[in-house]
Amino acid sequence: MTETVDVPSRVPPLVLITGPESLLAERALASILDELRVTTPDLEVVRLHPATYEPGALAAHTAPSLFGGDKAIVVHDLDEAPEELQQDLLSYLAAPLEPGVTLVVGHKSGQRGKKVLDTLKKSRARILEAPLVKSDRDKSDFATHEFRAARRRVTPEAVAALVDAVGKDLRELAAACQQLVADTTGVIDDKTVERYHGGKVEATGFRVADAALAGDTGEALRLVRHAIATGLDPVPIVAVLAQQLRQLVRVGGAGRGRSADIARELGMAPWQVDRARRALGGWTSDALGRCIQAVAAADFEVKGGGRDPVYAVERVLLTITRERHAG
């Protein structure tokens, strides 16, 4: 007869998930629970939330059960925890840990719960980071990793187009990556992204901005008129114009270094630096300054300060293309 040997879980009894990016925190928690279920398919998961926590609940859930079985206690949002929950956590951490219980604590940011955090770290908890994905460089790295994890090849231009189209929200960016992986075959390039996400607000705004910064008056006006005719609000278009002009100024003032080094210094993605450098040809700093002032005035008008938002957008596009040719 073959003897069955229980394989112990590699997850330690204490886990800390720290950082404000909710998608990454949720994925970290899911990975811990999946790892625990490898050895305990019927794992019991108990979730404790600060808003509904009752004193003593942690002790009750971690107490040995007559029926046995492993258990994961997930404490959400320690940074919002009342004093009672923090004290119960400290009491649990001060006593010998219960066998078969994995305590997972989530903490977004801030000083609340710091004593519990310090105690978890001193107790050698496994620490999983969920840092804020904010810069376009970080979003590009995130998207690239999503495709790599799915074993799909993607071009840098496709990543750039995807971040331009859906990069405001990390969840939407992750969903877009998953959609492209599921619905396409072969190498994912910028044409693939355009086919699926070319109608997005951000993508339309970037095409208008690219045409304007290149001095193509006819194309810029054609794109913006079509966008507005199909229901796009002028506000995000002006916002993209402002963002692109600021990037030109920042990249123009950063010198001639390697794109990767400048991107790291400015908190941008290397492809953004390359794009800005290509767009800078023919521009002077004075012309860029006048365009930034014009966009600021247009921003005021499209947000209610003017009588005709559409006219304000077209006028600022004419200003930008005129300054481009004057330079």
pLDDT for 137 beyond 60: yes
**DSSP β-ladder status, 101-107 and 126-129:** unpaired
| Domain-located, residue 81 | yes
Which residue range(s) make up the domain with 262? 201-326
Return the amino acid letter for 278. R
118 and 150 fall within a common domain: no
| Domain-located, residue 235 | yes
289 and 208 fall within a common domain: yes
235 and 297 fall within a common domain: yes
The model's pLDDT over 237-274, given as tens digits with 9 standing for 90+, comes to 898 899 899 999 999 988 888 888 898 888 888 888 88
Average pLDDT, stretch 208-225?
Answer: 90
Q: DSSP string covering 9-30, please? A: PSS-SEEEEESS-HHHHHHHHH
Percent of the chain topping pLDDT 70: 94
The model's pLDDT over 283-319, given as tens digits with 9 standing for 90+, comes to 988 999 999 999 999 999 998 887 899 999 999 999 9
User: How far is the C-alpha of 40 from the C-alpha of 124, rounded, in Å?
Assistant: 23
188 and 304 fall within a common domain: no
pTM surpassing 0.85?
no
Total domains in the chain come to: 3
Please report, for the domain that includes residue 278, its CATH number: 1.20.272.10
| Domain-located, residue 3 | no
Query: How far is CA 302 from each of CA 31, 234, 296, rounded to the nearest angstrom?
Result: 45, 6, 10
| Domain-located, residue 182 | yes
185 and 82 fall within a common domain: no
Q: How many residues does the chain have?
A: 327
Please report, for the domain that includes residue 23, its CATH number: 3.40.50.300
Residue 311 neighbours by CB under 8 Å, 6+ apart:
none
| Domain-located, residue 4 | no
Neighbouring CB atoms inside 10 A of 232's CB total 18
Q: DSSP string covering 37-55, please? A: HHH-TT-EEEEE-GGG--T
pLDDT for 3 beyond 60: no
Residue 17 pairs with which residues in a beta bridge? 106, 128
Locus of tokens 């796009």: 232
192 and 208 fall within a common domain: no
36 and 90 fall within a common domain: yes
Average pLDDT, stretch 126-139?
Answer: 92
215 and 165 fall within a common domain: no
| Domain-located, residue 189 | yes
Boundary of a domain, candidates 107, 129, 151: 129
